[in-house]
């Protein structure tokens, strides 16, 4: 509107005669100062200069599934590689935002590289190229309700990366926890299944209900 004075940002005086280019430059400069200060604070806190990502995007675990017969290594953001044994899996920590994840051969040479993104969530990286997985919501089970299985996602063998939007994740071959923290998202169960079962949703549901009962009985025996 004509005659309106430009608003002054806190800590900055804006000259009414300042050009648009100078205002943009001032705004960019203020943003860079903010990022630098935030980076310095996280550096002093011991989480690294780019630790601001953990403040903005949280963190989460990455479950790397390797059902091949070859041993691999997973390396996140240049950190020390961790082994992913054949027919096994490995869990590594991710800082939120976009991370570079390298999968290495047994001799530590690069096999494949991924740019993965999470926003305060657990995630799955399937490097098997043969395995299919079902992601089922079992939140009602922990609420004492019997509502059956609710599928959140069916991941075929071509799906390599999937962010689950929750921290309450029961990974394949891992025990069901006795209790969960509802504030960390829905409780999701990830299970390896034969890919052909995706062609028959009813049979898939019945199969997973049997597997779920077996897992719960096993948990009861452990307790």
The per-residue DSSP string of 2-38 comes to TTPPPPPPTT-PPPTT--HHHHHHHHHHHHHHHHHHH
Out of 36, 52, 68, pick the residue that ends a domain. 52
Residues 68 and 131 in one domain: yes
Residue 178's pLDDT is: 86
Residues 31 and 112 in one domain: no
Residues 135 and 196 in one domain: yes
CB 116 within 8 A of CB 161: yes
Which regions of the chain are under pLDDT 50?
Answer: 1-15, 38, 41-47, 49
Residues 123 and 92 in one domain: yes
Using alpha carbons only, what angle is made at residue 116 by residues 182 and 77, rounded to the nearest 5 degrees?
105
Residues 99 and 63 in one domain: yes
Residue 8 lies in a domain: no
Residue 166's pLDDT is: 97
- Partners of 91 in the β-ladder: 63
Residue 3's pLDDT is: 46
Residue 8's pLDDT is: 42
- Quote the CA–CA distance of 124 and 116 in Å, as a whole number: 10
Residue 11's pLDDT is: 42
- Quote the CA–CA distance of 206 and 203 in Å, as a whole number: 5
Phi, psi of 15 (to 5 degrees): -80, 125
Residues 147 and 187 in one domain: yes
Best CA proximity match to 145, nearest among 137, 153, 133: 137
Residue 2 lies in a domain: no
pTM over 0.85: no
Q: Show the tokens assigned to 212.
A: 């779920």
Residues 97 and 192 in one domain: yes
Give the structural domain span for 133: 58-222
Could you tell me if residue 97 is left (phi over 0), alpha (psi between -120 and 50 degrees) or otherwise beta?
Answer: left
Q: Tens digit of pLDDT for each residue in 97-123?
A: 999 999 999 999 999 999 999 999 999
Residues 64 and 82 in one domain: yes
CB atoms near residue 45 (< 10 Å): 11
Number of domains in the chain: 2
C-alpha dihedral sign at 116, 94, 136, 66: positive
Residues 84 and 160 in one domain: yes
């Amino acid at each position: 509107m004509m005659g309106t004075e430009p608003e002054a940002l806190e800590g900055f005086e804006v000259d009414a005669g300042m050009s648009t280019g100078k205002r943009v430059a001032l705004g960019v400069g203020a943003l860079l100062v903010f990022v630098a200060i935030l980076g310095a604070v996280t550096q002093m806190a011991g989480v690294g200069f780019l630790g601001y990502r953990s403040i903005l995007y949280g963190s989460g675990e990455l479950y790397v599934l390797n059902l091949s017969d070859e041993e691999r290594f997973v390396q996140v953001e240049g950190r020390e590689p961790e082994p992913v044994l054949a027919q096994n899996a490995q869990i590594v920590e991710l800082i939120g935002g976009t991370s570079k994840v390298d999968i290495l051969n047994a001799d530590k040479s690069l096999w494949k590289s991924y740019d993965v993104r999470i926003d305060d969530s657990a995630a799955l990286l399937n490097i098997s190229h043969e395995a299919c997985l079902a992601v089922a919501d079992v939140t009602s089970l922990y609420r004492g309700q019997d509502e059956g299985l609710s599928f959140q996602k069916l991941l075929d063998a071509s799906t390599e990366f999937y962010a689950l939007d929750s921290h309450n994740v029961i990974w394949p071959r891992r025990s069901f926890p006795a209790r969960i923290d509802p504030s960390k998202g829905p409780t999701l169960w990830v299970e390896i299944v034969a890919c052909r079962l995706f062609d028959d949703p009813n049979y898939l549901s019945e199969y997973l209900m049997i597997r779920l009962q077996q897992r719960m009985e096993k948990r009861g025996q452990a307790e």
